[in-house]
Amino acid sequence: MRRARRAAFLAASCLASLSLGGCQDLFNAILHSPAPVGVEASDGDYPDRISVSWSAPDLSDESWDGAEVSYYEVEWSWEGGSGSSSHLYSTSYTISSVAEAEEYYVTVAAHLDTGETGSASDSGFAMDAEKLVWASGGSSYTISGERWYETMLQEGFSYRFAFSATGSVAFYPYESLDELHSIGSANAVTWNCDEEGEGSKFYLRVSASGYPATFTASCDYGFGF
pLDDT tens, 10-51? 444 444 334 444 788 888 878 778 999 999 999 999 999 999
Instruction: Provide the pLDDT for residue 224.
Output: 41
Tens-place pLDDT, residues 47-79: 999 999 999 999 998 888 999 999 999 999 999
Residue-wise pLDDT for 89-133, tens only, equals 999 999 999 999 999 999 999 999 999 999 999 999 999 999 999
Radius of gyration of the chain (CA): 22
Asked if 9 and 79 sit in the same domain, the reply is no
The CATH number of the domain holding residue 209 is 2.60.120.380
Q: Are residues 82 and 26 in the same domain?
A: no
> What whole-number distance in Å separates Cα of residue 117 and Cα of residue 107?
12
CA distance 211 to 213: 5
| 141-197 pLDDT tens trace | 999 999 999 999 999 999 999 999 999 999 999 999 999 999 988 999 999 999 988
Percent of the chain with pLDDT over 90: 75
Q: What confidence score (pLDDT) does residue 61 get?
A: 85
Question: Is the same domain home to 70 and 25?
Answer: no
pLDDT band, very low/low/confident/very high, at 6 (cuts 50, 70, 90)? very low
For residue 225, being part of any structural domain is answered with: no
- The reply to whether 49 falls in a domain is yes
| Whether residue 203 sits in one domain with residue 173 | yes
Residues 39 and 25 in one domain: no
Are residues 119 and 143 located together in one domain of the fold? no
Q: What are phi and psi of 169, to 5 degrees?
A: -135, 135
Please give the model's pTM, rounded to 2 decimal places.
0.85
Residues 138 and 75 occupy one common structural domain: no
* Structural domain span for residue 147: 130-219
Instruction: Categorize the per-residue pLDDT at 222 as very low, low, confident or very high, splitting at 50, 70 and 90.
Output: low
CA atoms within 13 A on the CB side of 217: 22
Comparison of pLDDT for 19 and 88, the residue scoring more? 88
If asked whether residues 18 and 70 sit together in one domain, one would say: no
User: Which letter, b or e, does each residue of 166-179 get, where b requires 16 or more Cβ atoms within 10 Å of its Cβ?
Assistant: bbbbbbbbbbbbee
| Residue 224 lies inside a defined structural domain of this protein | no
Indicate the residue among 124, 152, 184 that finishes a domain: 124
Distance of alpha carbon 161 from alpha carbon 153, whole angstroms: 14
Determine how β-strand 201-208 pairs with β-strand 146-152. antiparallel
Distances (CA, A) of 130 to 127, 138, 162: 9, 16, 18
